[in-house]
Amino acid sequence: MLSVEKIKSDLKALNAEYAKIKDLPPEKRGEFGRELNKKRAELEKALQAALDAEQDAEVEPLDETAPSAPNRAIPRFNLGSKHPLMTELNRVLSIYSHMGFDIMEARQLDDEFHMFDSLNFPAGHPARDGYDTFRTAENFIPPAHTSTMQYRALTRYKDELKNGGKIAVVIPGRVFRNEDADATHEHTFYQCEGVFVSEDATMGQMLGVLKTLFETYYGQKLNTKTQPGFFPFTEPSLEFLIEKPKSLGGKGDGWLEMLGCGMIHPNVLETAGIDPEKYKGFAWGGGIDRLVMLKYGLTDIRYFESGKLEFLEEF
């Protein structure tokens, strides 16, 4: 690049040229003038560029690999975080919500009626033991599954059925099981329950909804399958499995058990004051912790309630 001094002297010389105009015959003056103007514009542009370059040359040397210039504060972002379980739960809920499911919150202390009686567990039935429930001195129960909310969902929305509507609700909640915590077991975890009732609900619809949920969640087509299961509050009862998604390293071989589901038992509908002859429904419930563990390859479920910043900062 030309130096500022050189351009300035060129400009000076050019300006001197203008004096020659008056010596030219009038018909040539125009063209001569335009020629000079063009040259001058070029020189001025070059001068500006040279001046800019001169100014810009006054910068400190840059170490692109360093976090800051010498003697300056290192820029820091003090970032907050949301709990991954809550974030993932919200993702799941948002998919349900887009499908048209209302959302209802679960409660963390409940009673025998909501935990068992309303769900068609016969009194004293061994199936009640299978849930490893905690109990308070007053015989309240920190719920062992979000199904405790089924009765409330059914009774809250049953009037909509009369008007030709449906009950379509999902219920996230914190649940508790009396088992010792280890890397894959927690006494405290999260579930999401789903309840659908209409005049023409079928098992085919339930399987369609569940497949769509997981396909949307994992953003791919998935093979799904079922296994017969047993829950007193659904009849028939199933376990729902999905093929391990590609995003989790699946190669079309493994299966993941995602949730339990089934057609709502007529006794459950009846207890909630819904005529089981007229209305049919399906319900399901699955854990959220496992979704998050699979997604992030977490090996220890106890991280979730650890409150460790080193864990939370990763999310």
Name residues contacting another protein, limited to 28-87 (CB under 8 A). 78-83, 85-86
Which of 50/283 has CB closer to another protein? 283
Q: Which of 146, 116, 129 is nearest to 289 (CA)?
A: 146
Which of 43/152 has CB closer to another protein? 152
> Tokens 């369609």 appear where?
208
Pick one of 30, 67, 130, 249: the residue that binds another protein (CB under 8 A).
Answer: 130
Whole-number Å distance between alpha carbons of 176 and 172: 13
Q: How far is the CB of 216 from another protein (least distance, A)?
A: 13
Structure-token pair, residue 23: 């010596």
Which of 29/107 has CB closer to another protein? 107
> Which x/- pattern over 166-205 shows residues binding another protein (rule: CB under 8 A)?
x-x---x-x-x-xxxx-----xx-------x-x-xxxxxx
Site for another protein in 275-294 (CB under 8 A): 280
Count of positions (residues) in the chain: 315
Pick one of 13, 24, 41, 109: the residue that binds another protein (CB under 8 A).
Answer: 109
- Select the span of 8-16, 35-43, 162-170, 290-298 touching another protein (CB under 8 A): 162-170
Whole-number Å distance between alpha carbons of 88 and 102: 18
Q: How far is the CB of 217 from another protein (least distance, A)?
A: 17
How far is the CA of 151 from the CAs of 35, 88, 160, 249, in angstroms?
A: 92, 26, 15, 39
Structure-token pair, residue 102: 């209302």
Is 140 a residue that touches another protein (CB under 8 A)?
A: yes
Pick one of 14, 107, 117, 300: the residue that binds another protein (CB under 8 A).
Answer: 107
Within 10 angstroms of residue 210's Cβ, the number of other Cβ atoms is 22
In eight-state DSSP terms, residue 88 is H
Whole-number Å distance between alpha carbons of 267 and 262: 14
Q: How far is the CB of 98 from another protein (least distance, A)?
A: 8
Structure-token pair, residue 281: 């429904």
Which of 172/285 has CB closer to another protein? 172
Q: How far is the CB of 268 from another protein (least distance, A)?
A: 11
- Select the span of 29-37, 48-56, 65-73, 122-130 touching another protein (CB under 8 A): 122-130
Do 228 and 262 touch, CB atoms closer than 8 A? no
Whole-number Å distance between alpha carbons of 290 and 30: 84
Q: How far is the CB of 79 from another protein (least distance, A)?
A: 6
In whole angstroms, what separates CA 104 from the centre of its chain?
A: 19
Q: How far is the CB of 72 from another protein (least distance, A)?
A: 20
Whole-number Å distance between alpha carbons of 187 and 171: 20
Greatest CA separation for the chain: 122
Structure-token pair, residue 174: 């914190």
- Select the span of 27-35, 60-68, 224-232, 242-250 touching another protein (CB under 8 A): 224-232
- Select the span of 4-12, 50-58, 65-73, 226-234 touching another protein (CB under 8 A): 226-234
